[in-house]
Amino acid sequence: MGTEDVHDYRREMLEKESFHQVDWSPSGCTKRNSCLLIVVSGSSKVYIFGPTNDPYVSKWDKIHDLSVLLVKHYICNENNVTVSKKYVDKVETMSACWSDTFQPALITTSTLSSLMATGSKNGSIVIWRIISEFQAFDDSWVILMDFSKWIKDNDEAHHNGCVKSFLFKLSFKSDGAIGCEVSLYEEICGGDLRNCQSLLFYKCPYNETAPLCAISKGSRLFVWSTSGNSKTGNSFGTVSSLKIPSNFGTGGLVWGASPDELRVYTIDGKAFKVEVSSRRLKLLLDFTEALRNQAVIFKEHCFVNEEDHDTQDNKKNNYTKDIRIYGVFTTFNCLTDFVLFQVGASSELYYNIAKFDESFFFPLPMHSNNDLSLESFLFERFKKLIHQKQLTESYSPSHLFWDIIIYSQNDANTLVGEAESFFYRFMSILMKGYVDSSAVVEEIVAEENTIGNNYGGHSSWDE
């Protein structure tokens, strides 16, 4: 490399490292069957955090720095302070995500696998545990990614990268090695030079829906859907769009429990429910007031600063501040949204995501008790989910039922133990599903023993 291309691009470590994106792994990634957390820092480094002992009570600590592996992957000298910018743009990571678990067809072990992707400044996406790296865009920052659910269709899976969909063809060898071929599947949104602020797949836990992805660019919302079966023609899916009534961009997206509901949170503190259909998107409800009322519960922490305890005027001015939303995620059953926000004056714009002095995080219940249509949907959902294999390996009990318990605790019928309460009806479904699953296992074992006795008293399990 020439001397003109050499510059000190290494950033000084902040006294307190800031983070701008996190993603949970599936359960079962550690010896104690817990999950891990991948974090992208404000200095474009990638860390993996995990529990040092019991994941529920012990301290979580940084267990790996993926940036070190990226440096080795691109054959850079990690001890060299002066590094070419082209290498720095490859090493500095803007986004990361974790896929759901899947079972490689040609690997005979029962171990589930999961893939991880990191996106860098120069547009490179690295798929971890696959010895492959592909260039999705030229000179474009990869700022958001998300994995779709796995589709059992000739070992193919769909994955969306910002405004384009790529087809991943994975090949699994008997020795555990994984190969990957990547090809452009479909262009979803044109190159309009607007940043993709949010990208989120709808993930059905029992795999009944085709790929469905929500994308926000400025105040414009897109939903891309496909049947997953079309193999001909230039277009494989449909794109619906809607303009959100906000002058700011989108702070976060979450899907409802069903794929026909999408909840949109904007940076300027607004919140909307959007109806998703095969033909169009429709704005259903503006629940901004409910969002802000919930935020007022935290007013002692959010709206009053230590400097403003002197005068009533200063206190009054603090209450006029608006919230700025920069992240949202929902619980497993989509009954409660968790909102990450800042507090700022109405005239101020906060677009910086690198580091803030203070951020606040609060739960927002999305459904009132005795919502019969919601409860019926949840009953049907768990009737299907309870029969899924490796359910407890993929999800912890707290992950599955936390929002169910929160939803049920305000039901007066539950407190007196009445059988018509949602909680008791829900528990009866779980018990019935458990009994049915146990009966199936016993039937299989009995059949295997019968076959074994017919062949000299040896069961097929022994064979």
- Separation CA 165–CA 196 (nearest Å): 14
Q: Which domain holds residue 21?
A: 1-133
Residue 209 lies in a domain: no
Last residue of a domain, one of 84, 110, 133: 133
Total structural domains within the chain: 2
Last residue of a domain, one of 113, 133, 153: 133
Residue 192 lies in a domain: no
Residue 381 lies in a domain: yes
Stretches in the chain below the pLDDT threshold 70 = 1-18, 28-33, 55-57, 75-86, 102-113, 129-141, 148-168, 170, 172-180, 182-195, 205-210, 227-237, 298-321, 344-358, 369, 389-390, 392-393, 410-420, 434-463
Residue 51 lies in a domain: yes
Residue 156 lies in a domain: no
Would you state the pLDDT for residue 264?
94
Residue 288 lies in a domain: no
Residue 88 lies in a domain: yes
Tokens of 10: 């290494």
Would you state the pLDDT for residue 125?
80
Query: What pLDDT digit, counting tens, does each position of 29-67 carry?
Result: 666 667 888 888 878 888 888 887 776 667 888 888 888
- Separation CA 241–CA 222 (nearest Å): 4
Last residue of a domain, one of 100, 117, 133: 133
Q: How far is CA 57 from the centre of its chain?
A: 24
Would you state the pLDDT for residue 77?
58
Find out whether 207 and 149 touch, Cβ atoms under 8 Å. Answer: yes
SS (H, E, C) the chain: CCHHHEECCCCCCCCCCCEEEEEECCCCCCCCCCCCEEEEECCCCEEEEEECCCCCCCCEEEEEEHHHHHHHHCCCCCCCCCEEHHHHHHHCEEEEEECCCECCCCCCCCCCECCEEEEECCCEEEEECCCCEEECCCCCCCCCCEECCCCCECCEEEEEECCEEEEEEEEECCCCCEEEEEEEEEECCCCCCCCCCEEEECCCCCCCCCCEEEEEECCEEEEEEECCCCCCCCCCEEEEEEECCCCCCEEEEEECCCCCEEEEEECCCCEEEEEECCCCEEEEEECHHHHHHHHHCCHHHHCCCHHHCCCHHHHHHHHCCEEEEEEEEECCCCCEEEEEEEEECCCCCCCCCCCCCCCEEEEEECCCCCCHHHHHHHHHHHHHHCCCCCHHHHCCHHHHHHHHHHHHCCCHHHHHCCCCCHHHHHHHHHHHHHHHHHHHHHHHHHHHHHHHHHCCCCCCCCC
Query: What pLDDT digit, counting tens, does each position of 285-310 carry?
Result: 999 988 888 877 765 554 444 444 44
Block residue for tokens 């992707």: 117
Residue 196 lies in a domain: no
Would you state the pLDDT for residue 15?
39
